[in-house]
Amino acid sequence: MSGNVRPIRERTPESEKITINLGYVDLGRIDLMVQEGFYSNRTDFIRTAIRGQLARHSEEMSRSVERHMLELGVRDFTRSDLEAARDAGEILHVRVLGLARIAPDVPPELARATIGSLTVLGALQASAPVKAALADRLL
């Protein structure tokens, strides 16, 4: 029977959870907007507000992304990518706006040998040992 068992692919979350503190009056105003039917829940209101602010500042953000030479979106690093960089004698200086993912099979020693600096505006997904190995290189 074990020959028919396949491992379930690890699922990557589509979003990152954040926590915010709001004053009681602001929270009450959000709840009133939800109660009146403008939004389905608090999360819907907060997401809509954040998207509105991001859209409002999209031109400034685009200029900033260009100025800082950031990669926009999802940037994956596989073991073979990092092995190729190591074999070529390259040290990577990575700047990502979005999500940077380092594959689970990347050993900490390989990550440390190939990643000279890592700036992530968004989220970094990597194993705990890899994050620990790169802790002094996270900007």
pLDDT on residue 61: 81
Q: Is the pLDDT of residue 1 over 50?
A: no
Nearest to 75 by CA among 100, 93, 92: 100
Q: Regarding predicted confidence, which is higher, 108 or 6?
A: 108
pLDDT on residue 63: 77
Could you tell me the pTM of the whole model?
Answer: 0.63
Mean pLDDT calculated for residue range 40-45: 96
Question: What is the full DSSP assignment across the chain?
Answer: -GGG--PPPPPPPSS--------HHHHHHHHHHHHTTSSSSHHHHHHHHHHHHHHHTHHHHHHHHHHHTPEEEEEEE-HHHHHHHHHTT--EEEEEEEEEEE-TT--HHHHHHHEEEEEEEEEEE--HHHHHHTGGGB-
Nearest to 97 by CA among 128, 126, 118, 80: 118
Residue pLDDT, tens place only, 45-70: 999 999 999 999 998 888 776 666 68
Residue pLDDT, tens place only, 84-123: 989 988 899 889 999 999 999 999 999 999 999 999 999 9
Beta carbons within 10 angstroms of residue 10's beta carbon? 6
Q: Regarding predicted confidence, which is higher, 130 or 94?
A: 130
The percent of residues in the chain predicted with pLDDT above 70, rounded, is 87
